A = this chain, B = another copy of it.
């Protein structure tokens, strides 16, 4: 019998219990022994819940029970979750986590603690929900030098952008719909300002580079300034607008990271990733381009990824750990010298004058009283100089992904 404890009986935690229960024959068969949830740690009681008898409020009961070999950490946050994870690992219990904030901040240390105690710290569910991208990077693309990762990593913002494109609606109304449907939280800041995506692209960059990439240092722009005109004009030009987390690795092993909305050509596979789905586009030096697509969030999809980690920990112990990263900060590449084409939106009356400042700009496309065009490739700093000169005459600008 493999005894498991779940830290946090919220959406993902209750999903973990459900997956282990409903798919027990697969989970146990693949683990090599019967898997059972012995404890659920939560501050709350759950009177009437079928798992009521498993609820405990004291983490020490779990940490000190030698029968428990694996813990699922689905609490979130970096306070108690950090303390409890470390305590469990120090007792040799493998921890399987969906907590991206904790992994982004303390992953390097917790991987070391796990190694020192002969157990595993796994966190497939922390990036891309049910998409097995961390396992793919670390166990399948092992013959590759990964040079670039581009991900649609946040379901809330992708739902909003998809809905804005389909319905021609504006941002704030669409956010309201997403909140009513439960796809956006009451305080949606972490999603719509790009912080959630920044944490996920930093974890992917940690794995790509082998060094620590600070999520707070990722250049991050959200989607709050995107208007329905941006989306309409981009669509007429053959593009969808997507919030991307980007990481690129240069020949000198420096890594550039960024979170921002981008125009993505409709012929690109990332453009077809709609609603709450996520996808991670990975470029390797031999493989070329690959993409991994699936539900980026949601109770059962995320829980399935946590339970896949439980199975790996049960079967292989510490040897199944993702290749980790060390505490040394990665060498950071400056993005100001990077070149992009830029989509520029201005009032239709001013369009010719604005466009004249960007030699070689493409066709003008008008929607209502506004007009947009796409510049030639130019450096970020070159664009910033022209944009600063034009000031508020530029109503909006978005980079083109290529």
Contact = CB atoms under 8 A, between A and B. Distances in A.
Given A274-B267, A294-B291, A19 B286 contact: yes
B139 A286 contact: no
A127 to B, nearest CB: 13
Contacts of A43: none
Interface in A1-51: 19-20, 22-23, 26-27, 30
Interface string A114-134: 000000000010000011100
A16 to B, nearest CB: 9
Contacts of A188: none
A390 interface: no
A307 B284 CA distance: 14
A402 to B, nearest CB: 17
A291 to B, nearest CB: 4
Interface string A91-110: 00000000000000000000
Interface in A277-298: 284-295, 298
A23 B291 contact: no
Contacts of A20: 143
Interface string A322-335: 01000000000000
A140 interface: yes
A142 B142 CA distance: 20
B143 A23 contact: yes
Given A272-B269, A286-B301, A294-B291, A135 B143 contact: no
A286 to B, nearest CB: 4
Contacts of A22: 285-286
A55 to B, nearest CB: 23
Given A135-B139, A136-B140, A143-B26, A294 B301 contact: no
A141 to B, nearest CB: 7
Nearest to A269: B272
A291 B293 contact: yes
Contacts of A291: 291-294
A352 interface: no
Contacts of A140: 124, 132, 135-136, 308
7 contacts: A19-B143, A132-B141, A136-B136, A267-B274, A284-B304, A291-B292, A292-B292
